[in-house]
Amino acid sequence: MEVTFRIRRYNPEEPGKNKPYWQEFTLKDVKETDRVLELLHRVKWEQDGTLGFRRSCSHGICGSDAMRINGRNALACKLLIRSCGPKVQVEPILGLPVLKDLIVDMEPFFAHYRSVMPFFVNNDPVPADGRERLQDAEEQQIINDTTNCILCACCTTSCPSFWANGEYVGPAAMVQAHRFIFDTRDQASQERIAVLAEPDGVWRCRTIFNCTPACPRGIEVTRAIGEVKLAIMRGTREGIINPKDIKVHG
């Protein structure tokens, strides 16, 4: 089949291209099982070598090729042409500064990520056998979903609250915070709760639910944010998540 790509281009260094514009490319012999990323490669290799986009693993794990495809955020490497149709519109994710074509500056996104202390905190002496700190399977289930985040920014850049105000911490940082706040072995949940209870924290979430379908990992993003809100309201992480309610992966 033949597929037309309509791509949002921008190159700040080249006169005439330093304002965002649309450019179309037509590709022949496209299989419906081709992924959007493969076709972007074909555009770059066969038609226009100046096209800029990020990708690393190409297998939905590294999270570097998030873009807005046909109006909705997705990973280019996970989306098949079958679900796009013969016309594919690709543009950079919204709310972060565009550097070139489909490449955005991820630093503001990672700054929000760092603000929620996305690392394990436990100041107790290590177990006597010197090995890992254990928790039971049920306790792990509580955070299992949010451990899947790959920081691709699909959720955060699908959020109208984030578009309006880049100071808002955004869904991804809250997913990451959720993973540690509800980790029964972690001892810094109160500090993370304090960060997220700031005016630019959870309160700017208006439960629009754009983030949940945007997640390429199927994380229940809005639910995680809701649980963080409840933890803030009640001042504790206890009793908010019932392990029986957790979906089982695989």
Partner 1 sequence: MTSLVLTITETLRYRGAIGQWSWVLHRLSGLGVVLFITLHVVDTSWALFYPDLYVEAIATYQTPLFTIGEFVLVACVIYHALNGLRIVVFDFKPVWWKYQQKAAGWVLIGTLVILVPVFIGMFGHVMRFYGDPESKFLGIGDVLTAQLPFAAGIGAAIIGAILFSGVVGIIRPEQSKAERKAGVKPKGSKLERFWWSFMRLSGLVILPLVFGHLAMMHVIQGVFDITAADFTVVGTTTANVTGTAVEFVANRWNYLIGPLAIWRLYDLALLALVTVHGFNGLRLVLTDYTGFSPLLKRGAIYLCVIGAVVLLVLGAGALFGTIDDSMKKMAQEAMANLHQ
**Cβ closest to partner 1, residue 1 vs residue 233:** 233
170 is a contact residue toward partner 1 (CB under 8 A): no
DSSP letters along 107-172, please? HHHHHHHHHT--S----SPPPTTSSPPP--HHHHHHHHGGGG-----TTGGG-HHHHH-TTS--HH
**Cβ closest to partner 1, residue 81 vs residue 142:** 142
Residues 42-61 that bind partner 1 (CB under 8 A): none
Helix, strand, coil content of the chain in percent (nearest 5): 35, 15, 50
| H/E segment holding residue 74 | strand 72-75
CB of 246 to partner 1, least distance (A): 9
**Cβ closest to partner 1, residue 6 vs residue 44:** 6
Beta-bridge partner residues of 26? 4
The only residue of 146, 156, 158, 176 in contact with partner 1, by rule CB under 8 A: 158
CB of 167 to partner 1, least distance (A): 6
Residues 91-110 that bind partner 1 (CB under 8 A): 94
**Cβ closest to partner 1, residue 77 vs residue 116:** 116
The only residue of 29, 129, 132, 245 in contact with partner 1, by rule CB under 8 A: 245
Other beta carbons less than 10 A from residue 171's beta carbon: 30
Give the binding range for partner 1 (CB under 8 A) out of 39-47, 54-62, 70-78, 125-133.
Answer: 70-78
Task: Kindly give the residue spans of alpha helices, DSSP state H, lying in the chain.
Answer: 36-42, 107-115, 137-144, 160-164, 171-181, 189-196, 211-214, 221-234
Report d(CA 173, CA 76) in Å as an integer. Answer: 22
Helix (H, G, I), strand (E, B) or coil at 44: helix
176 is a contact residue toward partner 1 (CB under 8 A): no
Binding mask 195-224 toward partner 1 (x if CB under 8 A, else -) reads xxxxx-x-xx-xxxxx-xx------x-xxx
Answer yes or no: are the C-beta atoms of 65 and 76 closer than 8 Å.
Answer: yes
CA 231 to chain CA centroid, Å, is 22
Report d(CA 48, CA 159) in Å as an integer. Answer: 32
**Cβ closest to partner 1, residue 161 vs residue 176:** 161
By CB under 8 A, the count of residues binding partner 1 is 45
**Cβ closest to partner 1, residue 81 vs residue 224:** 224
CB of 171 to partner 1, least distance (A): 13
- The residue ranges that bind partner 1 (CB under 8 A) are 68, 70-72, 94, 158, 160-161, 163-167, 191, 193-199, 201, 203-204, 206-210, 212-213, 220, 222-227, 229-230, 232-233, 241-242, 245
